[in-house]
């Protein structure tokens, strides 16, 4: 007797392990044919107990360096937020000049992060020429980071009570020159990403996150702004030099006149934020006050002050991917922090993933997942665990990527006809 097949859906885990990943996460997608009918996110594959080390092993200054290593490329926003929290908890003044240098470094990081993301997103939909183009222009900001901080990525600029290196007048022309370069190519990037018909076909009305869901699921950063909520910590809550600069949160309707909340809108927001970052850096260079850069340069004195401190504080900052949050509690006489809680933006944005992918085609999952910028190398590999009628089947990352490219080609062919 032939058993009747009743099960029509399959579960596909996407991720998490690949030698190149720096932030693995597993996405389990239930598909009915091509359509995604369910999704679940599994985090924790690289939970390294960093908060525990900060609470039990390191002194706060050592933890600044640890905070810098929480994320692969966000090596400014975590130490930035962490030192803000420590300064508030221990009542440490920050020199005004340091506030401006901190913001310049954070905005350079944003330009870098958004360009890197744009390249990855292009790759995900099979547009490798754009990927190469964007990563070539990204090289300029990496050189600038190295010029200012001495490193291409790990910046090591932030210190409790200020910054570790000054940005001097002699360095201004090089920074301005890099900003001019990005301004000169901005329109080209805008044309490539916003006017290209193929990119539009692959991203318009794909991975929609409605405004109400974004608010309920506490999404952050470009993800929530693309859904039409003008939520940006730089605008909403005073921290660093941003408080002086009257930042305005960017929503996609400034270009298209409407908010859809799809992948295309997330591209618009990130692209415009690159321009906004350039403006912020230029203003910071103009308005940077003179003076000290570190309130307590003597390490022993600083550590003693931190050990004596008794109090707690929160700090938030707008990282490239969204709001970054640190909570710090210090107890008098304790060398390590008593409590340290970190919340990175992807933590909040992952909750919106099921809303975005349900109802999509499986070939749209990579670009939708990439659109929240979750350090995307996580979706490197997928295995179909539920065997179909022909026995078990393995869907590798290459296969998933091929499906995505095929969809682009199919749409292009339809266009040509």
Partner 1 sequence: MDILTPEEIVKSFESALGNNLSDSKIYQSEVAVKRNLFTSISLYVKPDSFRDAVKHICELQEYPHLIVISPSDRGDNVELIYHITIYYGQHLKEISLLLSVTLSKNNLKIPTITDMIPGTIYAEREVQEMMGVEVVGIPDNRRLFLPDDFPAGVCPWRRDETGPEEMLRVLPGRKGIQHG
The token pair that represents 28 in the structure block: 């389990």
x/- map, 232-271, partner 1, by CB under 8 A: -x-xxxxxxxxxx-x-xx----------------------
43 Cβ contact list (under 8 Å, min separation 6): 25, 347, 350
Contacts of 211 (CB under 8 A, 6+ apart): 227, 228, 229, 259, 261
Length of the chain: 417
Which burial class, exposed, middle or buried, applies to 237 when counting CB atoms under 10 A from its CB (0-12, 13-18, 19+)? middle
* 378 touching partner 1, by CB under 8 A: no
| Nearest approach, Cβ of residue 314 and partner 1 (Å) | 5
Nearer Cβ to partner 1, position 59 or 198? 59
- Cα angle 205, 210, 211 (rounded to 5 degrees) comes to 135
**Number of residues in contact with partner 1 under rule CB under 8 A:** 56
CB of 194 or CB of 338, closer to partner 1: 338
Q: Does 56 bind partner 1 (CB under 8 A)?
A: yes
Q: How far is the CB of 77 from partner 1 (least distance, A)?
A: 14
| Residue 88 binding partner 1, by CB under 8 A | yes
Tell me if 348 sits within 8 A of 218, measured CB to CB: yes
Q: 96-124 and 263-287 helices cross at what angle (nearest 10)?
A: 150
Distance CA 408, CA 403 (A): 9
Residues contacting 275, CB < 8 A, separation 6+: 183, 186
Does residue 334 belong to the site contacting partner 1 (CB under 8 A)?
yes
Q: Does 343 bind partner 1 (CB under 8 A)?
A: yes
Least spacing, CB of residue 285 vs partner 1, in Å: 15
Return the bridge partners of 340, or none. 328
CB of 49 to partner 1, least distance (A): 7
**120 binds partner 1 per the rule CB under 8 A:** no
Note whether 84 and 326 are within 8 A (CB).
yes
Q: Give the closest residue to 201 by CA, choosing from 411, 414, 404.
A: 411
Q: Cα 295 to chain center, whole Å?
A: 30
Of 4-12, 40-48, 165-173, 262-270, the segment contacting partner 1 by CB under 8 A is 40-48
- Taken in order 71, 276, 376, 265, is the CA torsion positive or negative? positive
CB nearer partner 1, residue 99 or residue 296: 99
Q: At closest approach, how far in Å is the CB of 160 from partner 1?
A: 15
- Which of 313, 358, 405, 411 lies at the binding interface for partner 1 (CB under 8 A)? 313
Q: Does 10 bind partner 1 (CB under 8 A)?
A: no
Interaction between residue 283 and partner 1 (CB under 8 A)? no
**Spatial distance between the Cα atoms of 281 and 287, rounded to a whole number of angstroms:** 10
The least distance separating partner 1 from the CB of residue 384, rounded to whole angstroms, comes to 21
318 binds partner 1 (CB under 8 A): no
Q: How far is the CB of 50 from partner 1 (least distance, A)?
A: 11
Nearer to partner 1, 170 or 246 (CB): 246
Determine which residue in the list 33, 49, 297, 359 makes contact with partner 1, applying CB under 8 A. Answer: 49
Binders of partner 1 among 156-185, rule CB under 8 A?
Answer: none
The torsion region of residue 314 among left (phi > 0), alpha (psi -120 to 50) and beta comes to: beta
* Binding stretches for partner 1 (CB under 8 A): 43-44, 47, 49, 51-52, 55-57, 88, 96, 99-100, 215-219, 229-231, 233, 235-244, 246, 248-249, 287, 289, 313-314, 316, 323, 325, 327, 329, 331, 334-336, 338-339, 341, 343, 347-348, 350-351
């Amino acid at each position: 007797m032939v058993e009747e097949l009743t099960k029509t859906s399959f579960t596909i885990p996407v991720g998490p392990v690949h030698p190149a990943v720096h932030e693995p996460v597993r996405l389990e997608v239930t598909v009915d044919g091509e359509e995604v009918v369910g999704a679940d996110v599994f985090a924790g594959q690289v939970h390294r107990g960093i908060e525990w080390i900060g609470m039990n092993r390191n002194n706060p200054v050592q933890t600044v360096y640890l905070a810098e290593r929480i994320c692969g490329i966000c090596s400014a926003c975590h130490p930035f937020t962490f030192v803000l929290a420590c300064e508030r908890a221990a009542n440490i003044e920050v020199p005004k000049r340091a506030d401006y240098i901190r913001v310049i470094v954070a905005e350079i990081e944003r330009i870098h992060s958004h360009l890197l993301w744009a390249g990855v997103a292009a790759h995900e939909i099979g547009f490798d020429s754009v990927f190469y183009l964007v990563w070539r222009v990204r090289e300029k900001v990496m050189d600038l980071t190295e010029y200012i901080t001495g490193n291409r990525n790990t910046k090591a600029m932030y210190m409790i009570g200020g910054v570790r290196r000054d940005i001097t007048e002699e360095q201004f022309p090089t920074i301005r020159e890099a900003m001019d370069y990005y301004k000169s190519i901005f329109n080209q990037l805008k044309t490539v990403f916003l006017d290209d018909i193929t990119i539009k076909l692959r991203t318009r009305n794909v991975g929609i996150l409605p405004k109400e869901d974004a608010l309920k699921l506490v999404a952050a950063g470009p993800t929530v702004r693309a859904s039409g909520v003008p939520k940006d910590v730089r605008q909403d809550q005073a921290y660093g030099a941003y408080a002086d600069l009257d930042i305005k949160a960017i929503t996609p309707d400034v270009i298209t006149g409407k908010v859809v909340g799809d992948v295309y809108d997330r591209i618009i927001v990130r692209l415009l934020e690159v321009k906004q970052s350039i403006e912020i850096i230029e203003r910071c260079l103009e308005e940077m006050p003179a003076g000290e850069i570190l309130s307590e340069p003597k390490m022993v004195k600083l550590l003693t002050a931190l050990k004596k401190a008794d109090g707690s504080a929160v700090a938030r900052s707008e990282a490239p991917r969204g709001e970054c949050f640190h909570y710090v509690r210090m107890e008098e006489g304790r060398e390590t922090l008593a409590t340290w809680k970190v919340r990175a933006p992807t933590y909040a944005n992952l909750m919106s993933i099921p809303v975005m992918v349900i109802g999509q085609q499986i070939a749209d999952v990579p670009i939708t997942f990439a659109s929240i910028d979750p350090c995307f190398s996580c979706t490197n590999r997928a295995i179909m665990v539920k065997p179909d009628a022909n026995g078990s089947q393995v869907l590798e990352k290459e296969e998933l990527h091929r499906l995505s490219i095929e969809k682009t080609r199919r749409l292009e062919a339809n266009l040509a006809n």
